[in-house]
């Protein structure tokens, strides 16, 4: 491996210290990669701006905002969001991986009229075990809904999960998905951030799954 060379004040070549080179090689990916997986597909304005549901957790220890452009108007995207959940339309991600974890997810490939009802206070099932349920905290029909840990639930963190549609002037729609965590225990950071890469993989596939379904005109 060659070591980068800089010029000294006297104009003579000077080699950078090897430890500095190694440190730079470690730090740069460590800084860049979280930005990539926590903000996949999102613009700076989207990642830094407010979204519905942020008020459920005014202070978040970890936030991710991921986004995708869908070549369809918002009214064609919304039905796919409204029917999400275990025992309903699924999560549109990697069902095989979800089911290895015992979630019993079967993502729908068509819109089901019987699953279109969604309102604040509903339970959102992630698995057959009701202890894993989230609560629908807020709904703006046709535009957004926010899931959260039911108030008063025990656990090491509070959590909100927002799905937001933003119609664009060209007729496309931006779908934004935001996760926010507020830690209740000192060790929660280790648990949440350890699984956030897996969450990124599943969330990215979910965004792509919703996009593909909405664009297919099924």
Domain ranges of the chain: 35-215
Q: Which pLDDT value is given to residue 83? A: 98
Could you tell me the pLDDT band of residue 34, with boundaries at 50, 70 and 90? low
Which comes out higher in pLDDT, residue 134 or 29?
134
Q: What is the mean pLDDT of residues 28-54?
A: 82
Of 3-7, 17-21, 124-128, the range with the lowest mean pLDDT is 3-7
Q: Helix, strand, coil shares of the chain as percentages rounded to 5?
A: 35, 25, 40
Helices (H) and strands (E) in the chain, counts: 5, 8
**Separation between Cα atoms, residue 156 and residue 17, nearest integer Å:** 43
Predicted confidence (pLDDT) at residue 217 exceeds the cutoff of 50: yes
N-to-C CA span, the chain: 54
| pLDDT one-digit tens code per residue, 158-213 | 999 999 999 999 999 999 999 999 999 999 988 898 888 899 999 999 999 999 99
Residue in 135, 132, 111, 110 with CA at minimum distance from that of residue 56: 135
Predicted confidence (pLDDT) at residue 32 exceeds the cutoff of 70: no
Contacts of 91 (CB under 8 A, 6+ apart): 84, 85, 98, 105, 107, 202, 206, 209
| CATH among 3.30.530.20, 3.40.50.1110, 3.40.50.720, 2.40.160.40 for 35-215 | 3.30.530.20
Q: Which pLDDT value is given to residue 36? A: 81
Q: Which pLDDT value is given to residue 17? A: 52
Q: Which pLDDT value is given to residue 48? A: 96
| pLDDT one-digit tens code per residue, 100-159 | 989 999 999 999 999 999 999 999 999 999 999 999 999 999 999 999 999 988 889 999
């Amino acid at each position: 491996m060659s070591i980068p060379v800089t010029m000294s004040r006297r104009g003579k070549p000077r080699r950078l210290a090897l430890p500095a080179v190694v440190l730079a090689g470690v730090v740069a990916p460590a800084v860049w990669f979280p930005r990539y997986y926590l903000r996949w597909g999102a613009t700076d304005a989207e990642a830094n701006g407010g979204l519905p549901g942020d008020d459920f957790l005014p202070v978040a220890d970890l936030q991710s905002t991921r986004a995708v452009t869908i070549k369809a108007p918002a009214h064609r995207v919304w039905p796919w969001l409204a029917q999400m959940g275990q025992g309903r339309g699924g999560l549109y991600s990697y069902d095989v991986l979800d089911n290895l974890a015992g979630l019993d997810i079967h993502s729908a490939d068509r819109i089901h009229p019987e699953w279109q009802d969604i309102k604040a206070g509903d339970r959102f099932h992630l698995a057959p075990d009701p202890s894993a349920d989230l609560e629908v905290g807020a709904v703006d029909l046709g535009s957004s809904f926010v899931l959260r840990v039911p108030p008063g639930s025990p656990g090491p963190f509070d959590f909100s999960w927002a799905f937001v549609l933003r119609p664009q002037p060209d007729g496309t729609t931006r779908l934004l998905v935001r996760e926010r965590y507020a830690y209740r225990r000192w060790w929660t950071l280790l648990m949440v951030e350890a699984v956030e890469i897996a969450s990124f993989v599943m969330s990215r596939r979910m965004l792509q799954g919703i996009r593909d379904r909405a664009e297919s005109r099924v």
